[in-house]
Structures are given as C-alpha cells and as structure tokens.
Amino acid sequence: MALRRLVLPVLCALVVTPALAQEAYPKTIPTPGGEVIIPSERHQKSYDEFKYAPARRAGDTLYVSGVVAGRAKDEGTDPETFKRQLRRAFVALDKILKASGATFDDVVMINSFHVWEGPDQPAPRWEQLAMINAVKGEFIKGPNPAWTAVGTTGLLPEGGIVEIQVIAHAPKKKP
C-alpha cells in the first residue's frame, strides 16, 4: 500500500512533465528597445537555424520578415494558382502580425521583391501586380500603406515569385 502511494505521484509527474516542458507560443525575446516575436514552433526552428526574427518590435515599430509566395511542389503557374499562393503568404503575414499584437490595419509599409521573369511566372509584370493588388485588398481594406516593389533575379526558396515584407506601427499592448 505504501509503495502504491509513492508510485502514483511519480507516474503522474512523469506524464505531466513533458506537457509542462513544451514552450508556449507566441514567444518573445527581450531586446534593447523592444522584442523579437516568435509566433510558432516552425518560426522558432527558422529563428534558430537561419538566425532571423519572424518579427521584431523596436519602440512602436514592428518589422515583419518577408514571406514568399511561390509554387509548391506540383502547383501550376496559372493566375488562379498564383492568387492562392498569394493568399497563403498573406495568411502567414496575418498570423505573425496577430502574434505580435497587430493587424493589417497597423501596416504602414509594404516592401515586395519580385522575380519578374522565369519559368514560375503566372503573368507579365503589370498583370502580376494587378493580381497582388486584388489579393492584398482581401486583407488590407485601407487606407493603403506605402509600398515599394523591387525586381530581383531570384528568391531564397525555389519557385519563389514574390516576397512580401511589412512594417507596422504597433506599440506593445499593455497586459
């Protein structure tokens, strides 16, 4: 009987300990004048492996690293597929913004980096921009943020067509 009283608490501790050891996300890392925001375990792996912050707040400004819209394996290059790829990118940006206590309403600047030519292109430059604007309008209702679009010869992920980075005015919310 005494042994049973000892075994039960030990077994309970062993079962509960792994659950307690899991990190909670979003996670913040204090920095001088702000913080790094890590929204998920996947972002944590990127932070550790590639040494970049998914989002970093400096004062009242939130910098969100670029998210690439591009072809996944077995995806086509038609305009409707490109719009789905853009929606994936904007959903990913939305999740990072929300984990940082912000929304697309707080975005003041978009920087986008475009591979205008190549086998993955869904359409010529101006048609591609029109598609981006259409999808962007599903997420950003206005007033519109400033936007700089830059052409480049390639992006880090294979099949990348456009990388979208945002900057937001997002003071840290008080608990």
Residue whose structure tokens are 């912050």: 53
∠ CA 26-99-71, rounded to 5°: 100
Q: Which fold has domain 60-169?
A: 60s Ribosomal Protein L30; Chain: A; (3.30.1330)
The packing angle between helices 79-99 and 125-139, to 10°, is 40
SS3 (DSSP) at 42? helix
Model confidence pLDDT, tens digit, residues 36-93: 999 999 999 999 999 999 999 999 999 999 999 998 888 989 999 999 999 999 999 9
Domain ranges for the chain, please list them. 60-169
Residue 115 has pLDDT above 70, yes or no: yes
Model pTM score: 0.85
Q: How far is CA 156 from the centre of its chain?
A: 15
Determine the Cα–Cα distance for residues 166 and 142; give it in Å rounded to an integer. 15
> Can you give the C-alpha Rg of the chain in angstroms?
21
